[in-house]
Amino acid sequence: MLEKFSKWKANFTTNDLTTSEESNIPKHVAIIMDGNGRWAKKKGLPRIAGHREGMKVINKVVRKANELGVEILTLYAFSTENWKRPKTEVEYLLKLPERFLGIELPKLIEQNVKVRLMGSLENLPEHTLRAVEKAVYETRNNTGLVLNFALNYGSRYEILEAMKAIGKQIQAGEMTEDDISEESFSQYLMTAELRDPDLLIRTSGEIRLSNFMLWQLAYSEFWFTDVLWPDFNEHHFTEAVAVYQKRARRYGGI
Ligand code: FPP
C-alpha cells in the first residue's frame, strides 16, 4: 500500500494535471465510498472505526474536486439497503452527517460549497435531517462545488417514485404518454437539476453499481480502485480524473 501511495504521490503532487488536460475536467463526479468495514477489520478495529475514518476523507476529496474545477460531487453515504446492517452500525452511520457537518460546515461555506441531499427523507432520524437541512440552507447561495449527499438513496426506488408521479399526472390528465422522453423523465428523478455524472469512482475493488444512479450513469466513465475508502486521498482522486481525461467518450457514436 505504501509503495502504491508513493507512486501516486510521485506522479500527482507537483503538477497534478498538465495545462492541456485542464480543459477536460469531469463536471460531475459520483463516488461509491466502499471498504470502510474491511479497512477496520484489517486493523482489528470495530467497523464503525472504518466509517469514522472514511468520514475524514470527504474533506480532502471536496477540496481537491473544488480545486480541479469539478462542479458536482455526489457521494453515496447511505443506501436504502444499508438498513439491513446491525442497528448500532446504522445508528452510527446516520450520526456521521451531523458529526461531519458540525466540524466541516464553516469550512465548506468558506470554500463556497453548496450542500445538497438526494434520497428518501422517510425513516431518516430527525437529528440527521436537521443537520443536513441546516447545511443545505446555510450554503443555498453558494456558487462553487455542489456537494450532493446520497443519503437513504436507492436508484430503483427513485425510478419507481418517478414513474408513480408520472402515472398520477397522466391519470389527472395533466400529461400524456407522448410527453415522456429521456429529458422529461430525468426531471422526475432526485437529480432533476443536475447533469449526469461524467465519472463514477468506486473504491475497495468491488466492481458493481449497488443500486446507485442507474439511470444517470448510462454514459458515465467508470474508474475502480482496490484502495479502501479510508485510505483514499486527493492523489487517488486526481489519478481518477487524469484517467478520465484520457478516455474518449462517444455516447454510442464512433
Ligand atoms: C461502505 O463501506 C460504506 C458505507 C456504507 C458508508 C459510507 C460512509 C462514509 C464514508 C462516511 C459518510 C459520511 C458522511 C458525512 C455522510 P462498507 O461498510 O460496506 O465496507 P466493507 O464493504 O468493507 O464492509
Give the DSSP H/E element, type plus range, for residue 164: helix 155-171
36 as an active site residue: the answer is no
Which residue lies with its CA nearest to atom 13 of ligand 1?
Answer: 55
Distance 50 CA to ligand 1 centre (A): 8
Active site residue 24: no
Query: What are the grid coordinates assigned to 193, written together?
Result: 437539476
φ, ψ for residue 45 (rounded to 5)? -110, 160
Q: What is the pTM of this model?
A: 0.92
Domain boundaries, the chain: 26-154+196-245
Q: Cα angle vertex 53, ends 48, 57, to 5°?
A: 140
Q: Ligand 1 centre from 79 Cα, in Å?
A: 10
CA of residue 229 to ligand 1 center, whole Å:
8
**Smallest CA separation from ligand 1 atom 5, residue:** 78
Task: Walk along the chain (254 residues) and give the pLDDT tens digit of each residue.
Answer: 333 333 333 344 434 565 445 679 999 999 999 999 999 999 999 999 999 999 999 999 999 999 999 999 999 999 999 999 999 999 999 999 999 999 999 999 999 999 999 999 999 999 999 999 999 999 999 999 999 999 999 999 999 999 999 999 999 999 999 999 999 999 999 999 999 999 999 999 999 999 999 999 999 999 999 999 999 999 999 999 999 999 977 778 87
3-state SS of 25-44 is: CCCEEEEECCCHHHHHHHCC
Question: Rounded to an integer, what distance in angstroms lies between the CA atom of residue 184 and that of residue 123?
Answer: 28
Q: Which CATH architecture has domain 26-154+196-245?
A: 3-Layer(aba) Sandwich (3.40)
Q: Is residue 229 classed as helix, strand or coil in its secondary structure?
A: helix
As a dihedral over the C-alpha atoms of residue 133, residue 139, residue 144, residue 150, rounded to 10 degrees, the angle is: -10
